[in-house]
Structure 1
């Protein structure tokens, strides 16, 4: 199992909005300043990680802590 995000794509609408898709399904729409900032950042960083971060579909850093929680110990 890979820890890197995958399956994200984006489309630029005629009105300047950016659609972020995950496995072909709409995840979120960025408008205005957020769309402009995304288009600048997508060229300078890893696009998959950026889209995962923008959509909220990324690891939050608490997976190890959650694994040790009493209700999750049997998993």
Structure 2
């Protein structure tokens, strides 16, 4: 029975991870600037926005995992 509980928790974590990664990808797409030349770099501001979205996704996933384990 314990294995079933662990598998269920793992499935919930996987679902939540998928949702958070999809959200992060969506946010990334919204913050990307249109690149006119192939040599143009992403600005420091955009890098910070991308990092913030990924950190938020990681924090949410960690909190969700801790809630499942509690």
Q: What TM-score results when the alignment is normalised by the length of structure 1?
A: 0.27
Question: More strand per residue: 1 or 2?
Answer: 1
Larger relative contact order, structure 1 or 2 (CA cutoff 8 Å, min sep 6): 2
Question: More helix per residue: 1 or 2?
Answer: 2
